[in-house]
């Protein structure tokens, strides 16, 4: 944890952080939504202030278990305890504590000593629930410590160039003219890395639909489908459509894309994004039970199943997920994945292909699911699979398997 002695703590910013943590820990709100709301509170905050607020909230959430143990606050998030946890963060970051009543009698030396002591216990060092640490070790063995460590790093912001409207080089120049510096990412033809975190959604380039924000690992899923312009493609768990839009750009607006989801509000968001992207070949449909799927049997050249999962591969950007996850939920989600694969795979026509993808690093949600499916469905064969581990790639953890229907 690096030292930041050049910055002083500013009362309004710290109070905004404490209020945000109250909403996350006590009202069980999602961290990303709370951060967005908090940043809108004061128009006078500059980019440095906003950076402090966003990064501090995420760090406090990410290291919650470690800070609880050091501060002795356990899971009781009274205002006083939130301040104790914040004090631990500030001391470990090397801030000079101002003369505020909340910092009176801060045991800085004890905090640092306790931090050093807890580095010997992995579940505290990596700030992760005990059950999840045990599960990770059981499923991933000696790879787990490095994977978990990588998942605690802050995620970089990656843009996906909308090739329906522009290309990587041109977008780089357009963004530079707006004062936004980016870098090319090797091995990711449509990706740009944002050199410095900022609110990219305010840029004219975004409003003109020239790019979307999408992690580099996630950008590998749509190309994995082996798409050809003119095909009929079904995105069966489309959500707000990040991968649907990527499919549309790879298909050059030719052919048909049907985006399905259980939630109509997500598909409404997809329609707005599709208009901004000038993606004209996307139809949306809410899944209203098994009849929606039955009507689509044997109809798709390509099918994407971006199945619901634990989300363990994206903890870098959603650190609160590790505190919301429960063992029972994982058991349930694995069962859901099995059912979705069995039911939705019938959408693929003979000779068609499908990709099963998750943003998890657990084999029980990934290759084991695919192996179970192939055992039960001998009319499908595995063409290839890809495992992306955050400790090796530097990006989100992902899994994808390409299968072909033979009959």
Q: What's the DSSP call for residue 166? A: -
Helix-helix angle 79-93:108-118, to 10 degrees: 80
Query: CA 9, CA 97: separation in Å to the nearest integer?
Result: 7
Query: CA 191, CA 72: separation in Å to the nearest integer?
Result: 44
Q: Do the Cβ atoms of 366 and 306 come closer than 8 Å?
A: no
**E-strand spans in 325-377?**
348-358
Residue keyed to tokens 């905004």: 16
Classify 388 as helix, strand or coil.
strand
User: Which of 44, 51, 46, 53 shows the shortest CA–CA distance to 16?
Assistant: 53
Query: CA 355, CA 246: separation in Å to the nearest integer?
Result: 14
Query: CA 288, CA 167: separation in Å to the nearest integer?
Result: 38
Query: CA 64, CA 62: separation in Å to the nearest integer?
Result: 6
Count how many Cα atoms sit within 13 Å of the Cα of residue 73 in the half-sphere of its side chain: 23
Query: CA 333, CA 364: separation in Å to the nearest integer?
Result: 11
Sheet of 191-194: strands edge to edge? 182-184, 191-194, 158-161, 211-213
Structure tokens, 263? 């939630």
List 14, 31, 60, 359, catalytic entry: 359
Residue keyed to tokens 């961290």: 31
Say how many residues make up the chain: 407
Residue keyed to tokens 């963060």: 89
Query: CA 363, CA 385: separation in Å to the nearest integer?
Result: 12
359 is catalytic: yes
Q: Do the Cβ atoms of 355 and 402 come closer than 8 Å?
A: yes
Structure tokens, 381? 């064969």
Q: Which residues face 193 on adjacent strands?
A: 158, 183
The per-residue b/e assignment along 261-293, b for 16 or more CB within 10 angstroms, e otherwise, is beeeebbeebbebbebbebebbebbebeeeeeb
* Active site residue ranges: 359
């Amino acid at each position: 944890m690096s030292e930041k002695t050049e910055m002083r703590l500013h009362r309004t910013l710290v109070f905004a952080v404490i209020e945000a943590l109250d909403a996350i820990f006590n009202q069980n709100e999602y961290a990303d939504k709370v951060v967005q709301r908090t940043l809108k509170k004061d128009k006078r905050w500059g980019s440095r202030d906003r950076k402090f607020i966003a990064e501090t909230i995420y760090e406090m959430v990410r290291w919650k278990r470690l800070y609880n143990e050091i501060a002795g606050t356990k899971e009781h998030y009274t205002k006083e305890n939130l301040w104790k946890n914040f004090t631990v963060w500030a001391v470990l970051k090397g801030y000079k504590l101002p003369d505020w009543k909340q910092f009176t009698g801060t045991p800085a030396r004890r905090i640092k000593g306790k931090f050093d002591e807890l580095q010997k216990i992995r579940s505290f060092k990596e700030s992760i629930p005990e059950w999840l640490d045990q599960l990770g070790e059981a499923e991933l063995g000696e790879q787990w410590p490095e994977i978990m460590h990588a998942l605690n790093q802050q995620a970089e912001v990656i843009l996906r160039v909308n090739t329906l409207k522009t290309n990587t080089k041109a977008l780089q120049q357009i963004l530079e003219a707006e004062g936004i510096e980016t870098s090319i990412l090797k091995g990711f033809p449509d990706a740009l890395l944002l050199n410095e975190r900022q609110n990219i959604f305010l840029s004219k380039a975004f409003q003109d639909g020239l790019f979307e924000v999408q992690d580099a690992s996630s950008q590998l899923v749509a190309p994995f489908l082996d798409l050809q312009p003119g095909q009929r493609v079904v995105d069966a768990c489309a959500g707000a459509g990040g991968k649907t839009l990527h499919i549309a750009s790879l298909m050059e607006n030719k052919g048909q894309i049907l985006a399905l989801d259980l939630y109509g509000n997500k598909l409404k968001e997809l329609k707005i994004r599709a208009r901004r992207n000038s993606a004209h070949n996307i139809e949306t449909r809410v899944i209203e039970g098994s009849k929606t799927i039955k009507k689509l049997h044997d109809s798709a050249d390509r099918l994407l199943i971006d199945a619901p999962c634990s989300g363990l591969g994206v903890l870098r950007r959603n650190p609160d997920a590790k505190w919301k996850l429960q063992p029972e939920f994982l058991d349930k989600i694995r069962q859901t994945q099995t059912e979705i694969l069995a039911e939705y795979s019938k959408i693929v026509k003979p000779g068609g292909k499908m990709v099963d993808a998750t943003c998890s690093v657990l084999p029980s949600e990934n290759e084991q699911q695919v192996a179970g499916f192939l055992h039960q469905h001998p009319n499908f064969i595995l063409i290839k699979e890809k495992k992306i581990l955050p400790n090796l790639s530097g990006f989100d953890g992902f899994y994808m398997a390409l299968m072909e229907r033979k009959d």
